[in-house]
Chain A
Amino acid sequence: MRRHRKIKELTNLQFALVLTIPVVIFLITIIIYPLVYSLWVSFHEITFFGGFNTKFVGLKNYKDIFESQKFWHSLIVSFRFTVESVVLTMLIGLGIALALSRTFPGRKIIRSLVILPWAVSYYGSGMMFKYLWRGGTGLPTALAYIFGFDARINILGERTVIEALAIGNAWNLAPLVAFFLLANIETIPLRLYDMAEIDHMGPFRRFYYVTLPYLRFTLFVFTAICSVFSLKLFDFIFVQTGGGPGMASATLTYQIYKESFTNLNLGYGAAMSFYLLVLILIMTFTLYFVWGRREE
């Protein structure tokens, strides 16, 4: 016996709902709920001693943070680290992409070597650079010794620690940027380069007038992504310097970690993380309105 089933048509919205309602419920529990709870925590003082206690303090946490010198110091550290990281990452990423876009023997092997840093975890590379920069075990010390200086050169000292961290961060991020730029470069029609040849363009003008226009949108997107990544970065810095020496590399994320999980001042930490979130949003939107809007 054959049964005739009547297939009901679903609208797009209905189908979307059927497909995603379980997922949306899941998302609400693991993303929206914590976010709202976090906001609630930021208006409270949480104590763990003698049981779990909460006390409503209103905007006190936000006000305290705004008046604390540590916060402004961390803000500057975060900002300096982010700007340096992004500039280095984009320049090095672009450099790698341009180098790999040429033809040379062993190109395939070199390509797969160059992408490797991207696979190294942040805590792993944090430790790598710790041993690379430090006075006792570092490469600079070993090199200095060869040239006849008997000195421990510690790059992770107070004055250069942020730059050292930014270089390490760029080491991790640049390969990814490079590979996306490389994919873009390979879509540029070759005849444009032939025409540039006819016009007797030098390598710099050829880069500026032929290559660059194809890369601008990707450059913008990765500038935005790298800014967000760098502002969010925690484990790399924690493993490498622990915010030190002193407070020299205490970024906002490090400060949030310390306040929340070392001092167990969770309300204060939560409030600070909302400052950081606002900072990330401001930075992304500024980038979009100043640069990204023109690229679309």
Chain B
Amino acid sequence: MKKSSVITTIIVILVLLWTLIPMYWFMKMAFELPVDISAFPPHFYPKRPTITSLLNVLGFSYTTRSGEIFIPSGGVNFVQALVNSFVLATSVTIITMLVVLPLSYTFGRLEFKHKNMLLFAIILSVALPPVSVMIPFYIIFTKVGLAGTLIGLIIVTLTITIPFVTWMLIGFFRNLPQVERLARIDGYSRFGAFVKIVIPMGKIGVVIGAIISFLFAWNEYTFALVMVNGTPAATMPPAISGFLFVVPEPGHLTASIIYSLIPPFIVVYLLQKHITKMNIVEPLEG
């Protein structure tokens, strides 16, 4: 018994190291001064911990105790990017849910002709690589003037979130108990039963679906890189990578990534128990 608990401890420590080392090694740079970041050999921890970078990316300058002044970098407007990302993620989430709820309900709970063929079309679009999705939109948007705008980016992002969330919710709706008939006896119309009974019953699934589309839009890089990079509509991901490619400032890069991770971390922390309730495993059966 003793022996097995020692082994468990060792394995758990290994798992923790695997999880935390990459994050730690990167995030420590946010608390270092540029001199210390470029020191060789690299430090294992911040020798002179500071919050310079964390303030700089938000647009504040910072004076260290020794009198050195660090001003925000002019190249990247992180706050504007943060606002853009928030607008993008919110709009994408709302539109996605409006489309996905009826769609996944019909696929999950009703039988009709050609159902499997239509399902296959949805799964096919899940398989499409984002880089390929970009090509037609790039051409269309350059023609109609939507390139470099948030609206354009919202439309492209929907092409990923809608099929993916639909695919997840189909299995979820299918596993709910058959309540429609009872609801109909109580006088609900078919539509009423869907809106007033089924959706509230599937609350967890609906919330998780919404959160997944929010996080996807929040984290989406490829579309934003091609569509809005370098324009006022730039969202956070391409703006952050400006700290890497345009003005190499690892401290600011790390600080802005730390900010960008706050919402996902909170969400995942709150949701970890429910994540596995999504039945993404068997949408195609039956």
Contact = CB atoms under 8 A, between A and B. Distances in A.
Nearest to A182: B276
B50 interface: no
Contacts of A120: 23, 261, 264
Given A15-B110, A131-B26, A104 B265 contact: no
Contacts of A296: 285
Interface in B25-48: 25-26, 29, 37-38, 40-44
B83 interface: no
A145 B112 contact: no
Given A256-B131, A273-B131, A112 B261 contact: no
A118 B8 CA distance: 23
A127 B112 contact: no
A257 B111 CA distance: 41
Interface in B1-58: 5, 8-9, 11-12, 15-16, 18-23, 25-26, 29, 37-38, 40-44
A27 B25 CA distance: 43
Interface string A1-27: 000000100101101101110010011
A34 B222 contact: no
Interface size class of A (residues with CB under 8 A): 35 or more
Contacts of A183: 276
A188 to B, nearest CB: 14
B185 interface: no
B135 A19 contact: no
Interface string A94-111: 011001101010000011
B25 A131 contact: yes
A280 interface: yes
Residue among A15, A26, A96, A124 facing the most chain B CB atoms (10 A cut-off): A124
B129 A116 contact: no
A195 interface: no
Interface stretch (A65-73, A79-87, A136-144, A155-163): A136-144
Contacts of B139: 37, 41, 46, 52, 266
Contacts of A239: 221, 241, 244
A115 B20 CA distance: 11
B232 to A, nearest CB: 20
B219 interface: yes
Given A111-B272, A113-B16, A38 B132 contact: yes
Contacts of B215: 119
Contacts of B272: 111-112, 115, 179
Contacts of A142: 41-44
A231 B5 CA distance: 39
A15 B261 contact: no
B130 interface: yes
Nearest to B218: A121
A43 interface: no
Given A119-B264, A234-B222, A276 B132 contact: yes
B268 A41 contact: no
A52 B130 CA distance: 23
A23 B96 CA distance: 10
Nearest to B41: A145
B244 A117 contact: no
B258 to A, nearest CB: 9
A121 B111 contact: no
B21 to A, nearest CB: 7
Given A15-B110, A123-B221, A269 B135 contact: yes
Contacts of A212: none
A92 B267 CA distance: 24
A119 B261 contact: yes
Given A23-B99, A115-B268, A142-B44, A132 B22 contact: yes
Contacts of B70: none
Contact of A122 (B21, B221, B264): B221
A59 interface: no
20 contacts: A31-B121, A31-B125, A34-B159, A99-B11, A110-B15, A113-B19, A114-B16, A116-B265, A117-B19, A119-B261, A119-B265, A120-B23, A121-B218, A121-B219, A129-B22, A131-B26, A171-B19, A270-B135, A281-B124, A296-B285
Interface of B: 5, 8-9, 11-12, 15-16, 18-23, 25-26, 29, 37-38, 40-44, 99, 102-103, 105-106, 110-113, 121, 124-140, 142-143, 155, 158-159, 162-163, 189-191, 194, 215, 218-219, 221-222, 225-226, 237, 240-241, 244, 250, 253, 257, 260-261, 264-265, 267-269, 272, 275-276, 280-281, 285
Given A19-B102, A19-B105, 19 more contacts: A19-B191, A20-B106, A23-B103, A34-B137, A37-B140, A118-B268, A123-B219, A123-B221, A123-B237, A123-B241, A131-B26, A132-B21, A137-B42, A139-B25, A171-B22, A235-B221, A273-B131, A276-B132, A277-B127
